[in-house]
């Protein structure tokens, strides 16, 4: 067995570290803002959730909406996803209920021009209006919450505000007298909770028969982060990541479901009751309480740089959006200029004066601006050039970020944003991804990354793969300057995407294993990246699965299928796409399109049907596919063989390692109830245009180069025998017993490492992805103190954190004394725990 050795050359620093390498990416997804970091406790406080999103159509039962790009979104009359709807009692106005009273949604006579609805309530004697919050309202013992509302009252009355439990127990109450008014008036009240409870409702009682029209309501805790209105425990969870910047507001919410619902800057500043709401693509409406000002204030309070993402005149291309017309694009350019003036302008400017009126006369710090989010193609290139040129001229001190490699189009590009969501082995196999990037090009922002596929998500397995990848990032800080895991926050009662770095409910919070791994690496930062060499054990990726055949045309016949020398029976064959038909005369199976369609799940029957129709009528695939699996048991070593006949113009693929993760990961839009190409983890032997090539299909797959293709001579008039012999270390592909192409799996180290240093400290980060502890020899070219400090996390790959066990995976700290060899340099051994991320801190003598 190879000896694991790391040699650290402290006297030969490579380059300075990127001071803001580790950051955060906040997107309003999973109710991360309203009801989360922005601790509004009344859900649907502006009564607009059930309104059909602007620019969209809906089905008769309001279960879905369809945007102008024919993309369906789950709606459920404003309640959002099916599981969110199922968790609450029925009501016509989401989150609001009456007792001995009647309520009606009004869309005229609203509070102001930006408010689209008001709530009319006819109270009978002793009647009540109730809001159930975000799966209940939480309040601590002695905690004081502040309620305010804008309302019109028909006659003088006394209103009583209560925090009550489902059994009617009152945990806090306050009463005020209200005068009759034909215009909206603002009322306020403070309620102190007598005892901690997380399942309260907020109740408004009227002492007489009365008509009250509510224009806007809010219930917020008095105690917030620095008194600036954000939930303190969640904000401290952000601070404890040791991050240096926050990317905001997205993410796909930047573009919105359409132009009417983009998060334009002007909609997110000023008094919250005057901010227009927006329907987010994550299945709920936001009132933008956490807007541009609150974001800038949060960055300041946490001591982090701001990285603001602006709309560049495009809707979400992933949802069949496109560029806006020229006049609308110029409107968004002006929105960008206004945002920068708000952050940086003097109090004499229009938007700088509004900042001062909101309580911050001094300019904010705004270091980075990203032009668009996940936009691409000629439409983006044109808009990027316009925005960059205009904004850079106005604010030359800001660093601007592009969504793509616009430098390849001859455009000035300072930083490029790259996103990577994939299975664990992708990150383990690509720790050297940035080694070959051209150093004369733009810097790289690893703007979104996460393991979101595999056997488990939000697990130690994911944390290990991401940490290993980050050691490669740390070793290339001369070009990779920024990074952020995505997404950041998940309200566990309103999950639309997972995994997320931080999970919370209405009263508590925990970080997933990746949170602790990334925070650990961000905690120990040096001033220079040191030269480091690692030698030792390696292993191949852990591919397992069953064999399969994929073809793009019906002209495909096969027979005599064998796996490990055993004939495969018909009941072991399954058509994943298309259908299988056995031809008695041919004595072979034919793969055909037939009438087989996939069925999608995850929201509701109307959504599923709409999405299914959308997929098949608006398919992004140029050609349909047929796919057959052979359920012979998942293996990591196998021999898969069969006889096949197909046309020369058919593109076919054979694979042995087809597996489908059992975890519910990724975007919680309709999920294919069956296996699909996006979820499958496999390795593929492809025969196309009379050439063979080997592929590992991924979301961000690089095209196969011509140099990687092998000419393949096949007699297409008859059956040929195809065979793949595979094990953990690679596979060989044969036609008629002749070796055509083979692959050696890329071996990755068992230990991954990076190292940084200051004048007095050396920080060595080691990730062990093996199931066994590893003896590691560490060599340094300088003398160090004998006492070293080790902070680490460890656990089994499937281990996860939870509300019941929030620190099942969490950092541990130990100190140890080491014995040195008798030499001028220090050389000693440590034992690295299995499945662990460790930071070794040395003090130079």
Phi (first) and psi of residue 837, to 5 degrees: -125, 120
pLDDT of residue 577: 81
Angle of helix 326-344 relative to helix 350-357, nearest 10 degrees, comes to: 50
Query: Is 726:741 a contact under the CB 8 Å cutoff?
Result: no
User: What's the sign of the alpha-carbon dihedral 786, 791, 792, 793?
Assistant: positive
Q: Between residues 329 and 625, which one has the greater pLDDT?
A: 329
- Decide: helix, strand or coil at residue 121: strand
pLDDT band at 611 (very low <50, low <70, confident <90, very high): confident
Query: Is 233:509 a contact under the CB 8 Å cutoff?
Result: yes
pLDDT of residue 182: 96
Residue 193 neighbours by CB distance under 10 Å: 21
Average pLDDT over residues 381-408: 97
pLDDT of residue 622: 41
DSSP designation for 789 = E
Average pLDDT, the chain: 93
Q: Which of 1-10, 345-354, 616-625 has the lowest mean pLDDT?
A: 616-625
**C-alpha to C-alpha distance for 5 and 537, rounded to whole angstroms:** 10
| Planar angle of CA 229, 231, 237, nearest 5 degrees | 135
**C-alpha to C-alpha distance for 353 and 517, rounded to whole angstroms:** 42
DSSP designation for 209 = S
| Model confidence pLDDT, tens digit, residues 40-49 | 999 999 999 9
pLDDT of residue 627: 87
Query: Is 489:26 a contact under the CB 8 Å cutoff?
Result: yes
| Model confidence pLDDT, tens digit, residues 565-583 | 999 999 999 988 888 999 9
Q: What is the residue whose two structure tokens read 């006889």?
A: 643
**C-alpha to C-alpha distance for 276 and 54, rounded to whole angstroms:** 12
Pairing of strands 546-551, 652-660: antiparallel
Highest mean pLDDT among 65-74, 594-603, 787-796: 787-796
Question: Which residues are paired to 6 by β-bridges?
Answer: 534, 778
| Planar angle of CA 835, 431, 755, nearest 5 degrees | 75
Nearest to 9 by CA among 829, 599, 826: 826
**Residue 189 CA from chain centroid, whole number:** 38
- Give the list of residues 6+ apart from residue 437 with CB closer than 8 angstroms, or none: 444, 476, 479
| Model confidence pLDDT, tens digit, residues 88-144 | 999 999 999 999 999 999 999 999 999 999 999 999 998 999 999 999 999 999 999
pLDDT band at 700 (very low <50, low <70, confident <90, very high): low
Q: Between residues 22 and 603, which one has the greater pLDDT?
A: 22
Q: HEC profile for 684-740?
A: EEEEECCEEEEECCCCCCCCCCHHHCEECCCCCCCCEEEEEEEECCEEEEEECCEEE
Average pLDDT over residues 541-567: 93
Length of the chain, in residues: 845
pLDDT band at 601 (very low <50, low <70, confident <90, very high): low
Q: Between residues 705 and 150, which one has the greater pLDDT?
A: 150
Evaluate if residue 1 carries a pLDDT over 50.
Answer: no
pLDDT band at 170 (very low <50, low <70, confident <90, very high): very high
pLDDT of residue 620: 43
**C-alpha to C-alpha distance for 803 and 198, rounded to whole angstroms:** 14
pLDDT of residue 822: 61
Q: Enumerate the H helices of 231-275 as residue ranges.
A: 232-239
pLDDT of residue 678: 58
Token pair belonging to 124: 């009978």
What is the DSSP track for 808-833? SS--EEEEEE-PPPSSSSEEEEEEEP
Radius of gyration for the chain, computed over Cα atoms and rounded to the nearest angstrom? 30
Cβ contacts of 320-328, under 8 Å, gap ≥ 24 = 320/69, 320/70, 320/71, 320/618, 321/69, 321/255, 321/258, 322/69, 322/379, 323/379, 323/380, 323/382, 323/383, 324/259, 328/259
Reported in sequence order, the residue ranges of 283-336 that DSSP labels E, i.e. its strands, are: 284-286, 305-310
Evaluate if residue 357 carries a pLDDT over 80.
Answer: yes
pLDDT of residue 356: 98
pLDDT over 90 percentage in the chain? 82
| Model confidence pLDDT, tens digit, residues 455-484 | 788 999 999 999 999 999 999 999 999 999
Give the CA dihedral 352, 357, 361, 363, nearest 10 degrees: -40
Average pLDDT over residues 171-178: 98
């Amino acid at each position: 067995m190879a000896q694991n050795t790391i040699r650290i050359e402290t006297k030969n620093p490579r380059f300075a570290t990127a001071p803001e390498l580790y950051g955060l990416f906040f997107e309003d997804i999973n109710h991360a803002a309203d009801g989360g970091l922005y601790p509004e406790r009344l859900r649907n406080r502006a009564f607009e959730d059930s309104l059909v999103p602007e620019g969209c159509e809906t089905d008769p039962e309001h279960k879905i909406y369809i945007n102008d790009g024919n993309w369906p979104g789950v709606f459920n009359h404003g309640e959002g996803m099916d599981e969110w709807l199922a968790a609450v009692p029925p009501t016509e106005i989401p989150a609001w209920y009456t007792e001995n009273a009647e309520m009606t949604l009004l869309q005229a006579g609203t509070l102001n021009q930006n408010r689209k609805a008001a709530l009319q309530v006819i109270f009978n004697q002793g009647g009540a209006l109730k809001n159930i919050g975000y799966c209940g309202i939480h309040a601590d013992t002695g905690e004081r919450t502040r309620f305010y509302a804008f309302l019109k009252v028909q006659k003088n009355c006394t209103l009583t505000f209560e925090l009550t439990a489902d059994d009617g127990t009152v945990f806090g109450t306050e009463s005020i007298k209200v005068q009759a008014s034909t215009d909206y008036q603002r009322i306020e009240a403070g309620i102190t909770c007598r005892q901690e409870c997380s399942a309260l409702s907020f109740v408004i009682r009227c002492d007489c028969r009365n008509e009250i029209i509510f224009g806007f309501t809010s219930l917020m805790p008095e105690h917030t982060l620095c008194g600036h209105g954000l939930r303190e425990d969640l904000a401290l969870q952000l601070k404890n990541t040791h991050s240096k910047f926050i990317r905001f507001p997205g993410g796909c919410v930047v573009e919105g479901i359409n132009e009417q619902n983009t998060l334009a800057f002007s909609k997110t500043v000023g008094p919250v009751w005057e901010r227009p709401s927006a329907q987010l693509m994550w299945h709920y409406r936001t009132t933008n309480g956490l807007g541009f000002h609150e974001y800038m204030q949060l960055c300041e309070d946490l001591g982090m740089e701001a990285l603001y993402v602006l709309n560049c005149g495009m809707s979400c291309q992933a949802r069949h959006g496109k560029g806006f017309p020229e006049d609308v694009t110029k409107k968004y350019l002006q929105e960008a200029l206004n945002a920068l003036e708000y952050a940086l302008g003097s109090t004499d400017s229009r938007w700088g004066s509004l900042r001062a009126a909101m309580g911050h006369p001094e300019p904010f710090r705004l270091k980075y601006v990203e032009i668009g989010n996940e936009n691409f193609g000629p439409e983006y290139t044109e808009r990027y050039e316009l925005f960059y040129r205009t904004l850079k001229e106005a604010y030359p001190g800001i660093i601007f970020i592009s969504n793509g490699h616009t430098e390849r189009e001859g455009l000035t590009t300072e930083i490029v944003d790259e996103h990577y969501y994939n299975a664990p082995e992708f990150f383990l196999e690509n720790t050297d991804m940035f080694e070959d990037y051209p150093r004369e090009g733009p810097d790289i922002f690893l703007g979104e990354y996460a393991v979101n596929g595999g056997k488990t998500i939000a697990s130690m397995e994911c944390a290990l793969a991401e940490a290993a990848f980050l050691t490669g990032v740390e070793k290339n800080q001369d070009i990779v300057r920024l990074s952020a895991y995505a997404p950041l926050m998940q309200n566990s009662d309103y999950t639309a995407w997972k995994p997320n770095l931080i999970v919370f409910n209405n009263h508590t919070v925990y970080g997933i294993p990746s949170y602790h791994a990334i925070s650990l690496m961000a905690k120990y930062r040096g001033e220079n990246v040191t030269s480091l060499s690692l030698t030792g054990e390696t292993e191949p990726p852990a591919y397992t699965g069953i064999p399969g055949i994929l073809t793009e045309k019906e002209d495909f016949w096969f027979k005599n299928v064998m796996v490990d020398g055993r004939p495969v029976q018909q009941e072991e064959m399954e058509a994943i796409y298309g259908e299988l038909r056995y031809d008695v005369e041919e004595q072979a199976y034919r793969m055909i399109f037939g009438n087989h369609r996939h069925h999608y799940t995850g929201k509701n029957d109307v959504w599923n049907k709409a999405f299914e129709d959308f997929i098949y009528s608006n398919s992004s695939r140029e050609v349909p596919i047929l796919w057959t699996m052979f359920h012979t048991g998942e293996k990591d070593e196998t021999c898969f063989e069969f006889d096949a006949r197909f046309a020369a113009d058919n593109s076919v693929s054979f694979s042995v390692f087809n597996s489908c993760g059992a975890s519910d990961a990724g975007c919680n839009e309709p999920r294919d109830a069956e296996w699909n190409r996006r979820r499958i983890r496999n390795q593929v032997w492809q025969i196309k245009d009379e050439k063979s090539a080997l592929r590992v299909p991924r979301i961000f797959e690089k095209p196969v180069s011509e140099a990687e293709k092998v000419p393949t001579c096949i007699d297409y008039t008859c059956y040929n025998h195809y065979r793949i012999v595979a094990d953990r270390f690679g596979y060989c592909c044969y036609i008629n017993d002749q070796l055509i192409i083979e692959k050696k799996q890329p071996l990755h180290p068992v230990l991954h490492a990076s190292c940084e240093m200051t004048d007095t400290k050396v920080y060595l980060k080691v990730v062990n992805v093996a199931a066994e502890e590893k003896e590691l020899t560490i060599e340094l070219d300088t003398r160090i103190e004998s006492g070293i400090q080790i902070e680490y996390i460890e656990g089994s790959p499937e281990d996860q954190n939870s509300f019941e066990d929030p620190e099942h995976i969490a950092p541990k700290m130990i100190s140890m004394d080491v014995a040195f060899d008798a030499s001028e340099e220090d050389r000693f051994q440590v034992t690295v725990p299995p499945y662990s991320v460790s930071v070794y801190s040395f003090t130079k003598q």
